[in-house]
Structure 1
Amino acid sequence: MTTSDVVRGYHEARFRGDVAAAVALTATPFQFSSPMLQSDDPTGHLAGLPAFLSIVTGVRLLSELYGPDEATLVYDVHTASPVGTQRTAEHFRLTGGLITSITLIFDATPWQALRSAVVAGQAVRSVAGQHGVAG
């Protein structure tokens, strides 16, 4: 498979929620880095994928750049959330035809605010539940 086949295969598998197919295109060792998550586990960095995909309404690929052992994708992730559309760049490194590292680049500021609101809401529901109050 070419670098394009592997990277596009991973990208498409991830956005259709097929963790097994995405992980099958990664190598060991593996590293993932983003503004919100670091992982050395090919499956671990995809653990929150179902929740994330539940708010994704579409993905529009803007640019694809491929070399023999690296690639960069630039795309917009459209969400049904206060974040709206998230412009994202993703850089891949490959060894032996498998992905060894992914660096995801995006502005995490709107996601941090959303995460804080969700965590605060969960804390309020937890405290209310402990006191017998409907949340």
Structure 2
Amino acid sequence: MTTTTDRTRQTVQAYHQARFGGDITTATAQLADTFTFQSPLISSGDAAGHLADLPGFLQVVTGVEMISDLYGESEATLVYDVHTATPVGTQRTAEHFTLRDNRIESITLIFDATRWHSIMAAAGQPGTASD
């Protein structure tokens, strides 16, 4: 018998694997129509805006190492290291998800963005200290 927690786990894992695998279609399919995203560097009120810069980000990702994943009926939290080919190196990250009707309604990404500011400024990305 599949529980609500099992469905939460399936949805969040499908999103996480698709996102870091560059499969925007599958990642987007896990998101609710009323989706919001917040991180120290960007925020978005829709799935397209949230995943728009994913291909560029994945070009510098060399690996992802899961540390912990916790699931409840309508929320989940992942803690993982993102290994990058940038001066940032390894970025410890926590990601909190809220779900409704088995789709991700919001994501809050938590990490120390300090080392990313100069990289984003050099690339002319919004969200930098110069903006």
TM-score, scaled to structure 2: 0.88
In the alignment, the residues of structure 2 paired with residue 7 and residue 79 of structure 1 have an alpha-carbon distance, to the nearest angstrom, of 22
- Residues 19 and 43 in structure 1, CA contact (< 8 A), matched pair in contact too: no
In the alignment, the residues of structure 2 paired with residue 7 and residue 49 of structure 1 have an alpha-carbon distance, to the nearest angstrom, of 17
Is the aligned partner of 1:72 residue 2:66? no
Q: Give 1:11's aligned amino acid.
A: H
Q: What is the aligned residue count?
A: 120
Task: After TM superposition, give the deviation of residue 115 of structure 1 in Å.
Answer: 1.1
Question: Secondary structure at 2:116's aligned position in 1?
Answer: helix
Q: Give 2:58's aligned amino acid.
A: L
Equivalent in the alignment of 2:113: 108
Of the three residues 80, 88, 91, the one matched with 1:83 is: 88
Task: After TM superposition, give the deviation of residue 119 of structure 1 in Å.
Answer: 2.8
In the alignment, the residues of structure 2 paired with residue 26 and residue 116 of structure 1 have an alpha-carbon distance, to the nearest angstrom, of 29
% same residue? 57
Of the three residues 57, 64, 67, the one matched with 1:62 is: 67
1:26-41 map, 5 Å: 26-41=31-46
- Residues 14 and 22 in structure 1, CA contact (< 8 A), matched pair in contact too: yes
Task: After TM superposition, give the deviation of residue 105 of structure 1 in Å.
Answer: 0.4
In the alignment, the residues of structure 2 paired with residue 58 and residue 46 of structure 1 have an alpha-carbon distance, to the nearest angstrom, of 18
Where in structure 1 are there 5+ consecutive unaligned residues? 121-135
TM-score, scaled to structure 1: 0.86
Give the root-mean-square deviation of aligned CA atoms. 1.3
Equivalent in the alignment of 2:103: 98
1:116-135 map, 5 Å: 116-119=121-124
Structure 1 or 2, whichever has the larger Rg, is 1
Equivalent in the alignment of 1:42: 47
Question: Secondary structure at 1:93's aligned position in 2?
Answer: strand
Q: Which whole-Å deviations, capped at 9, do the CAs of 1:41-89 have from their partners, x for residues lacking one?
A: 1121111101100010000000001000000000000000011000000
Q: Give 2:30's aligned amino acid.
A: L
In the alignment, the residues of structure 2 paired with residue 30 and residue 116 of structure 1 have an alpha-carbon distance, to the nearest angstrom, of 27
Task: After TM superposition, give the deviation of residue 118 of structure 1 in Å.
Answer: 2.6
